[in-house]
């Protein structure tokens, strides 16, 4: 009972299968491009670089990443949009006088204090005891 299809029908079936395969491959390509776009976003890249204890500074996807993450992302966006701001600030800090050394120390202390505060909040939200 095995009937052979005519060559015209066989060719049409093969063409439709190839069209369907191309459509599936296009959909897979679009999906992979969307995933790559998310993976290469500045927020995701910064999250992958930072240690897990400091990831609350970036992104704000969870309940613990509220205000500080918004400030960090606004600062990052500002520095990307206006590179002269970063250049001016770095020129201010790189001068060799006593004021700049004091500013460097104060900025380092502020960053350390903020990182410690975020780490403690993260520890408290995870249920750990300080």
Task: Give the model's pLDDT for residue 51.
Answer: 60
Residue 112 CA to residue 67 CA, distance in Å, equals: 17
pLDDT at 63: 47
Structure token pair of residue 54: 């400091």
pTM exceeds 0.75 for this model: no
Contact call for residues 85 and 93 (beta carbons, < 8 A): no
pLDDT along the chain (130 residues), means of 10: 78 96 96 89 74 57 55 73 75 67 77 80 68
Residue 44 CB-density burial (10 A; 0-12 exposed, 13-18 middle, 19+ buried): middle
In this predicted structure, what is the pLDDT of residue 67?
59
* pLDDT at position 1: 47
């Amino acid at each position: 009972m095995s009937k052979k299809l005519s060559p015209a029908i066989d060719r049409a079936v093969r063409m439709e299968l190839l069209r369907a395969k191309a459509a599936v491959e296009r959909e897979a390509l679009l999906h992979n491009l969307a995933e790559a776009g998310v993976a290469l976003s500045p927020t995701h890249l910064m999250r992958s670089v930072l240690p897990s204890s400091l990831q609350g500074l970036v992104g704000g996807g969870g309940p613990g990443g509220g205000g500080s993450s918004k400030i960090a992302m606004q600062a990052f966006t500002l520095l990307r949009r206006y590179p002269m701001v970063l250049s001016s600030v770095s020129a201010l800090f790189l001068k060799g006088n006593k004021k700049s050394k004091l500013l460097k120390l104060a900025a380092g202390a502020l960053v350390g204090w903020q990182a410690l505060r975020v780490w403690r909040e993260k520890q408290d939200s995870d249920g750990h005891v300080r």
